[in-house]
Amino acid sequence: MSDVEACLSALRAAGVADVDFAMVLGTGLGGLADAVENPIIVPYAQLPGFPGGGVSGHASRLVVGTLEGKRVAFAQGRAHYYEHGDPRAMAVPVATFAALGAKVLILSNACGSLRSDWRPGSLCIISDHINFAGVNPLIGMKLEGALADSRFVPMNNAYDANLRRMMRAAAVRADVGVHDGIYMWYSGPSFETPAEIRMARILGADIIGMSTVPEIILARHAGLTCVAVAMITNLAAGIEGASPSHSETKEVAGLAAADFQRLIRAFLRDMPAGIPLCCHRKSFAKSATAARYPMRRSRFSSRGSLPAQ
Ligand code: HPA
């Protein structure tokens, strides 16, 4: 039995039903899952292939239930590339979300701002990314036969334009200010130097952090439609003399978590029954995803809308 199959049967045994949304909660943002109704909580330790605890600010458990009328699986905590040197560290969780029936993956993270006018405590909807870590979770992934070509994942609409529009609309309704910007993935765990931050700005990044990008690539490969929200916890190294630290990241993320939670709850609440799915999913669903997750084949062949709530 594969890890994904083992996770699925552990979750079913715990009483977990299908979900429409999955969400990865970044550093200091895990509190959103506390509002879930009728939660089923499964520690990562019971899910083979899920990350072990490692970074403070992450709870390492899956919380599945209903929030704002939507079925959601919340991952409280993620594995980072810098913990293991493995960019595929989130492969099993992402594949498990797909196997559970999730169509949309919402990602969140804490990040540094490269713009002095984007202040700590504010939120940014990620519009695109720059993979400056230079590794890719699909490198070396065993994809044989008909699946081999699935590794060439288009990334044009990785941060889905429709979902971003809906997130911006949710921000207006929730009265939360949001920026819209490009995220650079820097491997960490050391923070960047001021020279690296100047370079990142020249290359076109607005914000910088140590996560999210491998998950987006894995999720697009699995046929999930994605949207990502970053919490700016600090000005990046050297900007106005900033010298970021992990304790500052956790502290500011905690302080600004209320806005983040209002935004995500408004997004879920107002999500229509049908969401337009992107082209990649359409072309991909019939081949690679369906074959990789045979237990859920039927989910990937029915497309076009979320079930009515
Ligand atoms: N750099 C990288 N990762 C981060 C930062 C930062 O300034 N802040 C929070 N995560």
CA 234–ligand 1 middle distance (angstroms): 7
* pLDDT surpasses 70 at 309: no
Between 59-73, 86-100, 122-136, 140-154, the lowest mean confidence (pLDDT) is in: 140-154
Ligand 1: residue of 208, 239, 245 to mutate (most ligand atoms within 8 A of CB) is: 208
Q: Give per-residue pLDDT as tens, 144-164.
A: 888 888 999 999 999 999 999
H/E run at residue 104: strand 104-113
* pLDDT surpasses 60 at 280: no
**Are the C-beta atoms of 158 and 150 separated by less than 8 Å?**
no
Which is the closest atom of ligand 1 to the Cα of 112?
7
Which is the closest atom of ligand 1 to the Cα of 242?
7
Alpha-carbon distance values, 260 to 75, 140, 149, 172 (Å): 16, 36, 38, 13
Average pLDDT over residues 86-110: 97
Residue 233 in contact with ligand 1 by CB distance below 6 A: yes
Q: Give the domain extent around 47.
A: 3-306
The whole-angstrom separation of Cα 256 and Cα 271 is: 23
pLDDT on residue 146: 82
* φ, ψ of residue 64 in degrees (nearest 5): -120, 130
Minimal-distance CA residue to ligand 1 atom 10: 111
How many residues comprise the chain? Answer: 309
Q: Coil, strand, or helix at residue 131? A: strand
Q: Give per-residue pLDDT as tens, 28-43.
A: 888 899 999 999 999 9
Q: Give per-residue pLDDT as tens, 163-196.
A: 999 999 999 999 999 999 999 999 999 999 999 9
Q: Where are the beta strands (DSSP E) in 117-239?
A: 123-131, 178-185, 207-209, 225-235
- Percent of the chain at pLDDT exceeding 70: 86
Q: What is the DSSP string of 248-267?
A: HHHHHHHHTHHHHHHHHHHH
* pLDDT surpasses 80 at 282: no
Minimal-distance CA residue to ligand 1 atom 6: 112
Residue 244 in contact with ligand 1 by CB distance below 6 A: yes
Give the number of domains in the chain: 1
pLDDT category of residue 273 using cuts at 50, 70 and 90: low
Ligand 1: residue of 111, 239, 251, 260 to mutate (most ligand atoms within 8 A of CB) is: 111
Residue 210 in contact with ligand 1 by CB distance below 6 A: yes
CA 244–ligand 1 middle distance (angstroms): 7
pLDDT on residue 26: 87
pLDDT on residue 304: 36
Q: Give per-residue pLDDT as tens, 219-250.
A: 999 999 999 999 999 999 999 999 999 998 88
Per the omega criterion (within 30 degrees of 0), is the bond before 307 cis? no
pLDDT on residue 59: 81
Domain of 79, CATH number, reads 3.40.50.1580
Q: What is the pTM of this model?
A: 0.89
pLDDT category of residue 254 using cuts at 50, 70 and 90: confident
The whole-angstrom separation of Cα 97 and Cα 139 is: 21
Residue 157 in contact with ligand 1 by CB distance below 6 A: no
* pLDDT surpasses 90 at 278: no
pLDDT on residue 235: 97
Residue 93 in contact with ligand 1 by CB distance below 6 A: no
Q: Which two tokens stand for residue 190?
A: 């050391």
Q: Coil, strand, or helix at residue 13? A: helix
